[in-house]
Amino acid sequence: MPIDITKDTPQIALKKLKARESVLRHFEDIAGLGSWEVDLKTKKSVWSKESYKIYGLKEGTEVSIDTFFFMLLPEYITDAKTLLQEAIQTGKVLKFTCKARRKDGTIIDLFINGRVIFDENKQPLKLIGTTQDITEITNIKEEAKELAAILEYSSNEIYIIELETLRYLYVNKGACRALGYTNEEMLQKTVRDINPYLEKSKIAYLQEKIEQGEKVLNRTIHQRKDGTEYHVQSYIYKLAYHGKDAAVIFDTDISELIALEKEHHQQAKLLEYQAYHDTLTDLPNRTLFQDRLQQAIITSKRNEEKFALLFIDLDQFKKINDSLGHHIGDEVLIESAKRFQKVLREEDTLSRLGGDEFTIILKNLKSEKNAATVAQKLINSLKKPIETKHHSLHISSSIGISIYPNDAETQEDLLKYADTAMYKAKDEGRNNFQFYSSEMTQQAFEKVIMENSLRIAIKENQFEVYFQPQYNAETETIIGMEALVRWVHPHVGIVPPSEFIPMAEENGFIIDIDKIIMKQAMQEFSSWYAQGLNPGKLALNLSMKQLNENNFITDLLQTMQENNFKVSWLELEVTEGQVMQNPEQSIKKLKRLSNIGISIAIDDFGTGYSSLSYLKKLPLSKLKIDRSFIKEIPYDEDDIAITKAIIAIAKSLNLHIIAEGVETKEQKEFMLVNGCKKIQGYYYSQPLSRYKMTKLLKRSNET
């Protein structure tokens, strides 16, 4: 019979509890319950071994009720204290779940069950109860998100049954309350009485598992006294009870869980679909693509067939995203995917790897010609403009093709080679396809080496600033200079900018490189002015990537302040092509710089097809004629006409003008005659190191 402490005085109840201490300790180990008692006058506590284990404390450590509150997470302390006071004042059973922090720092979920023992004067004497670590159960609840609330607040029913007869030896109040029976009624029943659908064969199977010492997890249906039913999940463990082979059962009401399982199953199927498909285009994603690619390899190997892997990248897609917004970019991706799909057979696989990258597996390939035919159809599918609500967009694609097994026999190599061929298509002018060749591997390898070397160069500050002076051709005096970057590699010497600047711009390294050169140039300029020299204005190239950084202006001003560099000394050069990618945004950001007092110049003017209306709105102080127009002067009539037109535009807009790339006396004289006095080029000087530039400034100062 279970211990009924409600009919005895607290002293007798405690004696009975102590007499059953060994059984309860064994019960605790099996059930994962820790018992405890608190002297409400001294607040000192006595914990069982399992309680110490739950909290991660060394057995025998002195504890009190404050120890428990200290280990609770802060958000549970107020509720715990409130429930404790209610239990002391009303005698109500104390039950609640909470989270606590173990000695080792881990967070655990607990179920606390306690009650107050009163003395003969009805004064609260002790608080006794149990603590159960329900972290595992809670984790299961959290993994099943939509069921978490149901499981979290469900109460446990605890039974002890005799294994041989299946008769109940102990039933807790939670079980009686759930079933509608009294404790006495339950002790007259067996498992079969409240589990009407539990078949004999299933009972025998469970008995065998329990006898073997296994922890059994089972679902069944309970029938209440009033005939109603509910589903439960049972955790069953073997133990000895009153000298009998017995088992303890922890039951949880999961009726709502069962009711939601159908919905949960449907949601699981949806989640599984989403896990393997791109949410934007509904195409197979990278995960499913890799599985399909592996299956294609297995099938083609078995049947001695070929297949082609196509890697597609939309040309200039980033510009659409940056200038028109991601919502327009998404429309382009969706429409492109639809057009690609129409070209393919049902057995082919079109996937979206991410961004604007697509892959296609062309199965059972008869010849490379078939792959070429499909690739050209894919390119042609984008010839018609993509129409959005406010835009008609022309877009193209670059396609790389690798063939199984000719080029490779593994997923990694096939994808890598198709990707390499795609970049070759980009290099060939975009809007075309290329088959992989072994020569491309070497080119890709060299590209990887260059990229890694650039990372190291930035880290080790291998870049140096060079200066190309700018002259007033009438007075033959230096009026400023352009800061240029030189990569001084420790093993190969100076690397020409043409070999690393395009890659640096492509992968974003240009921002870090520009910062290095900006700092060096400002340091040198401040030093020259401090020496009484007059270097004029410092012209720094500014990429739109750098300008688009959130903290660019703040960082620029800070660098100037740290190097005692005046705002009036600085001129920032932006290329015409970059400005015209998003003219409205460029105008807004460049005006912020102009308002600070920084001069703005358009570099490579005449090459970017700029609108004169936008040019008028930009906060410019100078136009820089591109060297491509100067090169053939005074022999090429077209270049002469273009150069004169640019000079006329500058004068009409009240802008200064400078010609770069002036290399001959004839070119210099032409520029002077036509009203362009400021000149930069090899006629006066090639780019110079800081040391040579210092010497040139000193000579100029002396004259």
CATH number of 65's domain: 3.30.450.20
Contact 309, 409 (CB under 8 A): no
Q: In this predicted structure, what is the pLDDT of residue 179?
A: 93
Beta carbons of 482 and 474 less than 8 angstroms apart: no
For residue 494, what is the domain's CATH number?
3.20.20.450
pLDDT of res. 14: 54
Looking at the structure of the chain, the number of domains it has is: 4
My answer on whether 245 and 349 are in the same domain is no
Cα dihedral 609, 612, 614, 617 sign: positive
The strand ranges marked E within 134-289 are 156-162, 168-171, 216-223, 229-241, 244-253
Token output for 51? 């309680």
Q: Which of 133, 165, 196 is the last residue of a domain?
A: 133
Q: Could you say which of 414, 436, 458 is where a domain stops?
A: 436
- 433-451 CB burial, b ≥16 within 10 A, e <16: bbbbeeebeeebeeeeeee
pLDDT at 147 exceeding the cut of 50: no
In a domain, 36, yes or no: yes
Specify the DSSP element, H or E, that contains 641.
helix 637-652
**432 and 477 part of one domain:** no
pLDDT digits (tens, 9 = 90+) for 629-663: 888 888 888 888 888 988 988 888 888 999 999 99
37 with 180, same domain? Answer: no
* CATH code assigned at 295: 3.30.70.270
Q: Is residue 263 part of a domain?
A: no
- Contact indicator for 16, 3 with CB cutoff of 8 Å: yes
Mean pLDDT (whole number) for 665-683 = 92
The pTM of the full predicted model, rounded to 2 decimals, is 0.46
Share of the chain above pLDDT 90, in %: 34
Q: For residues 324 and 188, state if they share a domain.
A: no
Tokens of 488: 């001084």
Which residues are CB-contacts of 90 (< 8 A; sequence separation ≥ 6)? none
Domain encompassing residue 26: 10-133
- pLDDT above 80 (res 582): no
Q: Give a yes or no: residue 536 inside a domain.
A: yes
Per-residue confidence band for 528, with pLDDT thresholds at 50, 70 and 90:
very high
Q: Is residue 259 part of a domain?
A: no
Q: Are residues 318 and 425 in the same domain?
A: yes
pLDDT band at 607, cuts 50/70/90?
low
Do 101 and 241 belong to one domain? no
Q: Is residue 142 part of a domain?
A: no
- Residue 687 maps to a domain: yes
Q: Which of 128, 93, 132 has the alpha carbon at shortest distance from 112?
A: 132
Residue 581 included in any domain: yes
For residues 102 and 18, state if they share a domain: yes
pLDDT band at residue 550 using 50, 70 and 90 as cut-offs: confident
Residues 288 and 399 in one domain: yes
Six-digit token pair at 305? 């067939």
Average pLDDT over residues 445-456: 76
Beta carbons of 625 and 677 less than 8 angstroms apart: no
Mean pLDDT confidence for 62-78: 90
pLDDT at 8 over 60: no
Q: Which range is most confident: 174-178, 261-265, 465-469, 629-633?
A: 465-469
pLDDT of residue 519: 93
The stretch 562-576 carries a mean pLDDT of 88
Residue 479 vs residues 53, 518, 622: alpha-carbon distances, Å: 80, 19, 14
| Domain boundary pick from 395, 410, 436 | 436
Over the range 673-685, which residues count as b (16 or more CB within 10 Å of their CB) and which as e? ebebbbbbbebbb
Residue 628 and residue 525 in one domain: yes
Q: Residue 576's pLDDT is what?
A: 66
Residues 554 and 613 in one domain: yes
The Cα 458–Cα 74 span in angstroms is: 47
Q: Which helix (H) or strand (E) holds 417?
A: helix 411-427
CA distance 564 to 558: 10
Residue 517 and residue 660 in one domain? yes
Q: Please indicate, yes or no, if residue 208 is contained in any of the structural domains.
A: yes
Q: Which of 85-89, 455-459, 545-549, 557-561 has the lowest mean pLDDT?
A: 545-549
Verify that 426 and 457 share a domain, yes or no. no
Per-residue model confidence (pLDDT) at position 10: 54
Choose between 1 and 528: higher pLDDT.
528
| Whether the Cβ atoms of residue 308 and residue 403 lie closer than 8 Å to each other | yes
